[in-house]
């Protein structure tokens, strides 16, 4: 083996150790459209490598982004989980071997840092069923590696017979396995917002938003623009929203710039969701994006909530 090639090989190995994957420099696998305006540079780099490895269907490199000693991974919509690394290894290897060649997974938005983050991303058709899945995930870290990931998405268009029955639903979703590392500013805003929503206090909730803020519910396909419109919408709809009256805050994630919180609906511990938050320099919410499993609510209830998004 010649010396130049040996030096090149050493550099490749070093990059693997330092970045979490061999493919973190690839930019041609999926659309490079991710919004990292509310993410730290290390978090943006980490998740680019994460989704590159996943999109290459290389289980070995993908697993390298997870902590070697501490990891739980849950799909809150299907109610299935992998509470150990050994289960995750077996599952990732089996899944990636079956994925269609051109199926990819790529980030749309990253909020937070490498202590904890909220990530909005797409799984294209073929990865997990015939339809695409647009998830928002809660991600906790330790030593620069993922220790807990929970995916939240609307299951109405993705029926799956692998979903767990309610009697086997993993209600804790692994939150007891990690500490909370959200920035104090994010933690305060998340708790204030949840307190206002759960108390049906639309005025207090609206006061936490900037004047030009945006409110989006991906499950209901609704969007409200501006603090006044958000306040009026909450007056109409808050009592019926699953993250409103009586909802429990489960876990807060993210940095001073962005993150969010996981929640559980009152009276239905299988109806969980996540709310992503973008904050401005004053700590006000500039954009809220939430998603939850609409298949756990009746069609009539969903239609009634959608109707409430229309100004009278």
Domain check: are 74 and 158 in the same one? yes
At residue 246, the pLDDT reads: 93
Asked if the model's pLDDT at residue 16 lies above 90, the reply is no
Same-domain check for residues 252 and 152: no
Average pLDDT over every residue of 39-47:
98
Of 145, 177, 209, which one is at a domain's C-terminal end? 177
pLDDT for position 47: 98
Are 190 and 254 contained in the same domain? yes
pLDDT of residue 160: 63
Instruction: Give the number of domains in the chain.
Output: 2
CATH number at residue 163: 3.10.450.50
Q: Tell me what the mean pLDDT of segment 225-248 comes to.
A: 97
Average pLDDT, the chain: 91
Q: Which of 25-29, 216-220, 254-258 has the lowest mean pLDDT?
A: 25-29
Going by pLDDT thresholds of 50, 70 and 90, the confidence category of residue 129 is confident
Q: Is the pLDDT of residue 139 over 70?
A: yes
Same domain, 135 and 80: yes
Asked if the structure places residue 20 within a domain, the reply is no
The domain boundary residue, chosen from 149, 177, 205: 177
Q: What is the pLDDT of residue 241?
A: 97
Q: What is the pLDDT of residue 166?
A: 84
Indicate whether 121 and 251 sit together in one domain: no
Is the confidence at residue 12, as pLDDT, over 80? Answer: no
pLDDT of residue 20: 52
Provide the edge-to-edge strand list for the sheet that holds 133-142. Answer: 35-39, 105-112, 116-123, 133-142, 145-152, 72-75, 80-82
> Does residue 155 sit in the same domain as residue 257?
no
Residue 125's domain comprises 33-177
Q: What is the pLDDT of residue 168?
A: 87
What's the pLDDT at 268?
85
Tens-digit pLDDT profile for residues 256-289: 999 999 999 998 888 999 999 999 999 999 999 9
pLDDT at 6: 40
User: What is the average pLDDT across 104-132?
Assistant: 96
């Amino acid at each position: 083996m010649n010396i130049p090639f040996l030096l090149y090989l050493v550099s490749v190995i070093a990059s693997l150790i330092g970045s979490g994957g061999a493919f973190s420099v690839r930019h041609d696998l999926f659309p490079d459209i991710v919004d990292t305006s509310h993410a730290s540079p290390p978090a943006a780099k980490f998740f680019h490598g994460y989704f590159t490895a996943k999109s290459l269907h290389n289980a070995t490199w993908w697993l390298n982004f997870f902590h070697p000693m501490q990891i739980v991974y849950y799909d809150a919509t299907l109610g299935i989980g992998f509470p150990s690394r050994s289960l995750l290894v077996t599952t990732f290897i089996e899944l990636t071997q079956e994925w269609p060649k051109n199926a990819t997974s790529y980030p749309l938005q990253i909020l937070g840092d490498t202590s904890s983050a909220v990530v909005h991303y797409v799984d294209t058709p073929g990865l997990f069923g015939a339809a695409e899945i647009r998830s928002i995930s809660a991600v906790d870290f330790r030593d620069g590696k993922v220790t807990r990931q929970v995916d939240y998405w609307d299951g109405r268009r993705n029926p799956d017979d692998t979903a767990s029955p309610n009697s086997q639903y993993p209600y804790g979703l692994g939150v007891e396995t990690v500490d909370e590392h959200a920035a104090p500013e994010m933690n305060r805003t998340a708790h204030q917002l949840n307190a206002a929503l759960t108390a049906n206090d639309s005025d207090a909730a609206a006061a936490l938003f900037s004047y030009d803020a945006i409110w989006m519910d991906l499950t209901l396909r609704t969007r409200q623009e501006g603090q006044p419109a958000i306040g009026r919408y909450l007056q109409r709809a808050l009592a019926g929203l699953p993250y409103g009256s009586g909802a429990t805050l489960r876990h807060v994630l993210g940095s001073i710039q962005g993150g969010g919180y996981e929640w559980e609906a009152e009276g239905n511990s299988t109806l969980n969701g996540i709310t992503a938050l973008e904050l401005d320099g004053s700590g006000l919410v500039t954009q809220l994006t939430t998603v939850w499993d609409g298949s756990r609510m009746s069609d009539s209830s969903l239609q009634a909530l959608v109707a409430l998004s229309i100004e009278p």
